[in-house]
Amino acid sequence: MPELRYNILNDIWVIISKERAKRPHDYPLNWEDKKKTGKENCPFEPGKEYLTPQEVFAIRDPDTKPDEPGWRVRIIPNKFPALKPEEQFFRTSEAIHDKMGGYGFHEVIIDTPDHERHINNFSIDELVLMFTAYRERMKQLYEEKNIYYVQIFKNHGKEAGKSLYHSHSQLIALPRIPKRIGTQIKQCRSYHMEKERCLLCDEINFELREGIRVVHDNDHFIVYSPFASAFPFELRVVPKEHLDDFTMVTDNMIYYLSKAVQIAVKKLDKLLKNPPFNMMLHTSPPRRNLPYDPNYFYEIDKLFHWYIEIFPRMAIHAGFELGTEFFINPTPPEEAAKYLREIKINTE
């Protein structure tokens, strides 16, 4: 039975995941080489649907049935979930310690039926299908009363935490707004309170004028390396139109998003030779679950701005970073952006 526990000293919540419980000898450490799962043993192959939990969402060819081949993107519950929908949603304490029930959703998004295709060489069509599945499933989960946030993420390469070879993304739907998102909302709020403008709108307008940290821009998106990038070659992919909520994105926007992400990822791939990276989608929480602020009267759609971030994993976070939350980035974003602007890639 998983539970959420509050770490009062650090003001963070932690998922204590007994379902995935690991005893000392269960740690074939993640960073050890994992055998590449062959096609024949891969539970994510079409025709092997019986090896996974039943699908909760799929984009399928006409006249095909759930849990049978014919899907383009397939979403299934994680076999070893960190949080579970059967668990109760409750808040309680254990003497001085606070905790919550391990309610939530942990799902795997199988991006493609093809064992050998990965995000570093996805076509626009593949990206469009993947992002469409993200949007549709997020929409469904935001209907659940006690879901406060849905984090969608992708781990590319084993050093970025990927453990199964076949390309997939994951989502975890949480009964709390995570700390980092809470901080971003707070920052956007105080910026907006003072200036009545959106923080990310201001930032991308400034970056477009400056140019030095911009890697690419199309009619609807900008790809840039943030001024205070915590990771070398870190990238943000941000829509130029202000919109807080990814579930409201149109098909047309998903097409332009896919173009921008394809360029970002292909450039990283070529420049850094298929580096491991994490890709995270950030969006506003469902409005009903926002923390109430008596000093602030604006709706969240005025202040949050959805975006995608990409963290290449070129270095290990060591004691300094973990102890302080201070990051050291050895490649200034202006240089990262210059290298990425200059490298030539082929796109469709």
Q: Which of residues 279-338 bind a second copy (CB under 8 A)?
A: 279-280, 282, 309, 311, 313-320, 322-333, 335
Task: Tell me which of 41, 187, 250, 347 binds a second copy, using CB under 8 A.
Answer: 187
Q: Is 343 exposed, middle or buried (0-12, 13-18, 19+ CB in 10 A)?
A: middle
> Minimum CB separation from a second copy for residue 132, in Å?
19
> By CB under 8 A, what part of segment 242-281 binds a second copy?
271-272, 275, 278-280
Long-range residue pairs from 43-46, CB within 8 A, at least 24 positions apart, any chain: 43/164, 44/74, 44/110, 44/115, 44/164, 44/166, 44/168, 45/113, 45/115, 45/166, 46/70, 46/71, 46/113
Q: Which is nearer to a second copy, 49 or 82 (CB)?
A: 82
Pick the closest to residue 254 from 239, 265, 269, 266 (CA basis).
Answer: 239
99 three-state secondary structure: strand
Pick the closest to residue 281 from 310, 249, 324 (CA basis).
Answer: 310
Total residues interacting with a second copy, rule: CB under 8 A: 94
Q: Which is nearer to a second copy, 147 or 200 (CB)?
A: 200
Q: Can you tell me the distance from the alpha carbon of 343 to that of 216, in angstroms, rounded to the nearest whole number?
A: 11
- Sequence-distant (6+) residues with CB within 8 A of 266 are 120, 121, 345, 346, 347
Q: Which stretch binds a second copy (CB under 8 A): 120-128, 140-148, 183-191, 256-264?
A: 183-191
From its phi and psi, is residue 211 left (phi > 0), alpha (psi between -120 and 50) or beta? left
> Minimum CB separation from a second copy for residue 64, in Å?
30
Task: Tell me which of 30, 54, 250, 347 binds a second copy, using CB under 8 A.
Answer: 30
> Minimum CB separation from a second copy for residue 24, in Å?
5
> Minimum CB separation from a second copy for residue 40, in Å?
26
Q: Can you tell me the distance from the alpha carbon of 198 to that of 206, in angstroms, rounded to the nearest whole number?
A: 12
> By CB under 8 A, what part of segment 88-147 binds a second copy?
94-97
- Specify whether the CB–CB gap between 179 and 12 falls below 8 A: yes
Task: Tell me which of 112, 132, 167, 170 binds a second copy, using CB under 8 A.
Answer: 170
> By CB under 8 A, what part of segment 193-222 binds a second copy?
199-200, 202-203, 206, 210
Give the DSSP H/E element, type plus range, for residue 310: strand 307-312
> By CB under 8 A, what part of segment 4-23 binds a second copy?
5-18, 20-23
Q: Is 228 exposed, middle or buried (0-12, 13-18, 19+ CB in 10 A)?
A: exposed
Q: Which stretch binds a second copy (CB under 8 A): 125-133, 223-231, 258-266, 284-292?
A: 223-231
Place of tokens 């204590």: 16
> By CB under 8 A, what part of segment 66-85 binds a second copy?
82
> Minimum CB separation from a second copy for residue 117, in Å?
19
Q: Which is nearer to a second copy, 58 or 272 (CB)?
A: 272
> Minimum CB separation from a second copy for residue 346, in Å?
19
Q: Which is nearer to a second copy, 78 or 247 (CB)?
A: 78
Question: Taking CB under 8 A as the rule, does residue 154 contact a second copy?
Answer: yes
Q: Which stretch binds a second copy (CB under 8 A): 34-42, 84-92, 169-177, 283-291?
A: 169-177
